[in-house]
Chains A and B, each alone.
Chain A
Amino acid sequence: MSTVTAPADTTKAPAKKSGGFTAAASNYLDERTSISAAVKEFGRKIFPDHWSFLLGEVALYSFIIILLSGTFLTFFFQASMAEVHYEGSYIPLKGVEMSAAMASTLDLSFDIRGGLLMRQVHHWAALLFVASIGLHMLRIFFTGAFRKPRELNWVIGFVLFILAMAEGFTGYSLPDDLLSGNGLRIIDGMVKGIPLIGTWTSYLLFGGEFPGTEIVGRLYSLHILLLPAMVLAFIALHLLFVVVHKHTQYAGPGHTQQNVVGYPVLPVYAAKAGGFFFIVFGVVMLIASLFTINPIWNYGPYDPSPVSAGTQPDWYIGFADGGLRLAPSNLDLVLFNHTFSFGILLPLAVIGLFIVAVMLYPFLEAWITGDKREHHILDRPRNAATRTAIGAAGVTFYAVLWAAASSDIIATHFHVTMEGVIHTLQALLFLGPIIAYFVTKRICIGLQKKDREIALHGYESGRIVRLPGGEYIEVHEPVSDYERWKLVSHEEYKPLMIRPNSRGKITAGQKVRAGLSRWFFEDRISPVSRTEIESSHGEHH
């Protein structure tokens, strides 16, 4: 290359021969775009290396896979509910009346080369997208990465999670097959259950009586235009904040609140991340080529009369479906000649509150702990026992709702009664989080005690030594300084003290806050202090 470009260089003065083509090209670009400042900024960005920091990347890569495969699908999909007779090659639907949306999805599956693979890639990647967002959020939560200054980025990430679910649901409804139609019917029922505006909203949404002839086209506009644009915008914002805040890191030797220890983006990290994209793509491709997803040809076209047994939403909407299944069905209340279906309103309210609580958690915790410092070193989950316990309770609550969405499949596959499953899950919805909270908190505190023990006295080596006096002792191996750093470098929190304000009064808000803070930090194990370590060293040497 360099030999070819060498003669061209002679025209201008500043270009020197030494750099060759790359240098010349970079220089050409930089003189016209001043891009070197950006490359310098981003290329030197340091990313710490830990597997759990890659979960958000998995979500990003799944989204890219979704964009690519989705673009292919738009070439062939017709978002129309016009009635056609299917004339493709799938025999059991030949001549059957269906919407153009369903017929074109069938054509994609059976008559367009690579169409079925792309459909399956798109759908499997969507499941992976939301799943990896969920796991990423759990990592952020349990390591306390949402603390100042990253509270807003948590909210942005949360919005992305909701957008991803919306993307998923609108996509699920597009083929206009029986399963997606049943799903829309449930949404229609939920909307109609809202007092006062419900029926109006439903008619507005569907352009008339359900199912109407509008909904697929409308969902399509949302699915391929508005929602992806919003997802992209929020991803950009999310990543911008990651750059602004710099990445968090786990405690370790040399890791401080002021630095980030890891690899620079260029060249190592970019190469790794680029390679990782292809690995994720490969995994999705492999799954999509070996496992069926959403076989709409089995489901047939939507028709409001048939409802299939075992109708479920995709996994990420499962918790809402589970909420509906767990709500008592006989809670209708007739007031002023209007029916209030609390069997619908109750789960809507509970799930709404749960979601809002997840979104606001960073602000709630900051208020309770009164902690206004910046945090760039992550917590080990055990060192924030109460937060970890709250998280475990939340996960249990979600998991019970999630399990409820498959109550019928649990019943048939484990040979138990459906009523038994529902009643058990109803009880677990309330008891499960409480049990999870206390068990997790005790385990965390137990682990903290163990850490303290190890930091002070080292590991039990299993070597028994008999002293000259006849006494037996077990020799403890001291931990290395690197190991000890991880065990002792967390901060200690104490419950807030109630202090009178400037007018010398203690407000009710103050009291609540102090009470919550006591609940948060009452049970705790103090981290090992320097003097304790020094005195324990004396014992061993």
Chain B
Amino acid sequence: MFRNHNRSPRQQRNTGRRSPLATTALIAVGLLFTGGAYAAFSTSTASAETAHAASASTVAEGKKLFQANCASCHGLALEGTDEAPSLIGVGAASVDFQVGTGRMPLQAQGPQAPVKPVQFTDEQVRALAEYVATSGPGPSIPDESLLQADGDAANGAELFRVNCAMCHNVAGAGGALTEGKFAPALTGVEPVHIYEAMVTGPQNMPVFNDANLTPEDKRDIITSLKFTQANSTVGGHALGSLGPVAEGLFMWIFGLGAVVALTVWITARSN
């Protein structure tokens, strides 16, 4: 758009000589072009989709919802307060994750926002996400094609072990972090929320951007998680996939409990 603007006066003159402003204009164009390309590149799949999906009315509705439900902590202009961070440039994915899993609006300050029943309808969540996305470029809600859990489960499982298992547990059963924080269990989490968590790094989670894990890698991780959850009962009840602590507790209480009850029965005197 800018290029056309600049070019048209130049063509009109058509003197064969460069205008003294031409160099400056050229540099400005160059900068805009590379800057724009960089911005588009760094947010990758981001802004392109949200742009066409966003309509003025949903953004307006999102703004209303935001002012009514979020602004008291995040500020009327998403600038953040002492209570909560700024939301400028966090992207639609962040909002969809935090609000779509019920973590936001926060009920009380604590080490970590827990999952709660979702407070808004899907349309409202979408409106909020679009409103926040207008504040600046940020990760957008991922494309459906990446969320079908139809990728390479073996690759995903390996990536999960290397990148995720140290906090979320190798079976995705969750784990403890410091100071009362924790990595939640991943059972039953929507693929879209898993994806969004990886791109936005909510709470204590690091960001896994597309240079780190490509969208296909993320798809594979989702695939392996969904596969494991669908097939967790291979050997019978999974006991929460918590590992030897759950197994030991089970054996002491139910296994040994049953055996002791049977010893009492077998040595009981007949009446």
Measured CB to CB, the nearest residue on chain B to A129 is B251
Contact call A305/B162, Cβ cutoff below 8 A: yes
Residue from A109, A179, A279 within 8 A of B266 (CB atoms): A279
Nearest-Cβ distance from residue B223 to partner chain A, whole angstroms: 8
With A283-B262, A408-B175: A292-B235 Cβ-Cβ less than 8 Å = yes
Is A318 in the interface zone, CB < 8 Å from B?
Answer: yes
Residue of A nearest to B224 (CB): A92
List 19 extra interface pairs beyond A51-B266, A178-B161, A417-B180, CB under 8 A: A50-B267, A51-B263, A58-B263, A127-B251, A128-B259, A131-B251, A276-B262, A283-B255, A290-B237, A291-B236, A292-B232, A292-B238, A303-B161, A306-B162, A306-B165, A309-B170, A312-B243, A315-B247, A409-B176
Let me know if B256 and A309 touch, CB within 8 A.
Answer: no
> Closest approach, in angstroms, between the C-beta of B206 and any C-beta of chain A?
14
CA distance A294 to B179 in the complex (A): 29
* A297 at the binding interface (Cβ < 8 Å): yes
Assess whether A309 is in contact with B175, with CB atoms less than 8 Å apart. yes
- Name which of B67-75, B136-144, B151-159 contacts chain A: B151-159
CB distance from A198 to the nearest CB of B (A): 26
**Chain B positions 180 through 213: 1 when the CB is less than 8 Å from some CB of chain A, otherwise 0:** 1011000000000000000000000000000000
Q: Of B153, B165, B182, B245, which is within 8 A of A92 by CB? A: B153
B236-267 interface code vs A (CB 8 A; 1 in, 0 out): 11110111111111111011101110111011
| B227 interface contact, C-beta 8 A | yes
**Interface on chain A toward B: helix, strand, loop, or mixed SS?**
helix
- Indicate if the CB atoms of B263 and A309 lie closer than 8 Å: no
| CB interface residues, A 101-128, toward B, < 8 Å | 109-110, 116, 120, 124, 127-128
Interface residues of B in 70-84 (CB under 8 A from A): none
B residues with a Cβ closer than 8 A to A are 111, 153-154, 156-158, 161-162, 165-171, 173-180, 182-183, 224, 227-228, 232-239, 241-252, 254-256, 258-260, 262-264, 266-267, 269
- From known contacts A54-B263, A91-B154, A300-B161, infer whether A295 and B171 are also in contact, taking CB-CB under 8 Å: yes
Residues of A within 8 A of B (CB): 49-55, 58, 91-96, 109-110, 116, 120, 124, 127-128, 131-132, 135, 178-179, 272, 275-276, 279-280, 283-284, 287-295, 297-300, 303, 305-316, 318, 405-409, 411-412, 415-420
Find out whether the CB atom of A306 lies under 8 angstroms from the CB atom of B157.
no
Given contacts A91-B153, A127-B247, A283-B259, whether A310 and B173 have CB atoms under 8 Å apart is yes
Q: A120-B235, A292-B234, A411-B176 are in contact. Are A92 and B157 (CB under 8 A)?
A: yes
Decide yes or no: A92 and B227 within 8 Å by CB, A128-B256, A283-B255 being known contacts: yes
Assess whether A298 is in contact with B247, with CB atoms less than 8 Å apart. Answer: no
Complex contact A49–B234 (CB within 8 A): no
* Contact indicator B166/A307 (Cβ below 8 Å): yes
Contact status B154-A92, CB under 8 Å: yes
Centre residue among B183, B235, B246 by max chain A CB count within 10 A: B235
Measured between alpha carbons, how far is A128 from B250 in the docked complex, in Å?
A: 10
Q: Would B267 and A419 count as touching, CB distance under 8 A? A: no
**CB-based contact B247/A308 at 8 Å:** no
Residues of A within 8 A of B260 (CB): 51, 55, 135
* B255-A418 in contact (CB<8A): no
Among A116, A294, A312, max chain B CB count under 10 A is at: A312
- In the complex, how many angstroms separate the beta carbon of A362 from the nearest chain B beta carbon? 25
Q: Which residues of B contact A419 (CB under 8 A)?
A: 178-179
CB neighbours (8 Å) of A295 from chain B are 171, 232, 234-235, 238, 241
B-side binding surface: helix, strand, loop or mixed? helix
In the complex, the 5 A-B pairs of residues with the closest C-beta atoms, listed nearest first: A309-B175, A315-B248, A292-B235, A308-B170, A408-B176
A-B contact pairs, 30 of them (CB 8 A): A49-B269, A51-B263, A55-B260, A58-B259, A93-B154, A96-B154, A96-B158, A124-B255, A128-B256, A132-B256, A179-B244, A275-B266, A276-B266, A283-B262, A292-B234, A292-B239, A293-B235, A298-B241, A299-B171, A303-B162, A309-B169, A312-B244, A315-B248, A316-B248, A318-B248, A409-B242, A411-B176, A417-B178, A418-B179, A418-B180
Task: Write out the residue numbers on chain B whose beta carbons fall within 8 Å of the beta carbon of A91.
Answer: 153-154, 227
Minimum CB–CB distance for A375 against chain B, Å: 22
Residues of B within 8 A of A307 (CB): 165-166
Residue among A50, A91, A275 facing the most chain B CB atoms (10 A cut-off): A91
Distance of A305 Cα from B237 Cα, bound (Å): 29
Residues of chain A within 8 A (CB-CB) of B157 are: 92-93, 96, 300
In contact, A417 and B168 (Cβ under 8 angstroms):
no
B174 to chain A, nearest CB (A): 6
